Amino acid sequence: MKIVSIIPARGGSKGISKKNIVDLNGKPLVYYSIQASLDSNVDDTFVCTDDDEISRESLKYGAKVQMRPSYLTNDIIMPDLTLIYFADKREFDILVFIQPTSPLIKPEYINTGIDMMKTGNYDSVFTVTEEHWLPRWDEDINPVDWDIENRPRRQDKQKLFIENGMMYITTRDNLFKTKLRYGGRKGFVKIPLIDSFQVDTEEDLDLIGSLI
């Protein structure tokens, strides 16, 4: 059974210029996803990019590179199309899709997901963080999904989990069948809140830099 990872890292970014290789504690952002994958039970680690500088940095830190065309790099294209493009060019059984914007990912999270897939009980697995209920309000200061005169206790609310975008795992067959990063019989890997943060802004960089 061949297991490969893909880290899609395009050159363009509106929030932070060259975000995927922005400096984070002395290393480019993409380094952390690469290293976690290399230290896991993944057989081959690929960065899929349209950018020569990202390609050079990825190779420097031990990843393989799959270049992708410009039509797969604009802001409105979902990553699923990049996964399908990659799968058309590479042979594998299980694909681990890792976001380069999740530098707090750990090899053990990847391995847990892979082990779940190997049981044969799941067609896809993704990472979540448990949501602790807090009262929410809309912009007109109306309570959202709760009654102000009958405020619920947190422990009485149903457990909910937030898809945190860190990692998705699927089979090659399931990817071609669904055209999505997940589908079929789904399972999730619970990630602690402290490891679930993603880099989208300069403030995120400062926060995550203090956690690494």
Relative to beta strand 186-190, strand 124-131 is: parallel
Q: Tell me which amino acid residue 117 is.
A: M
Q: Which pair of tokens denotes residue 151?
A: 């405020």
What's the CA gap between 103 and 94, in Å, rounded? 22
How far is the CA of 195 from the CAs of 1, 44, 69, 164, in angstroms? Answer: 29, 24, 32, 10
Residues annotated catalytic, as ranges: 151
Name residue 131's amino acid.
Answer: E
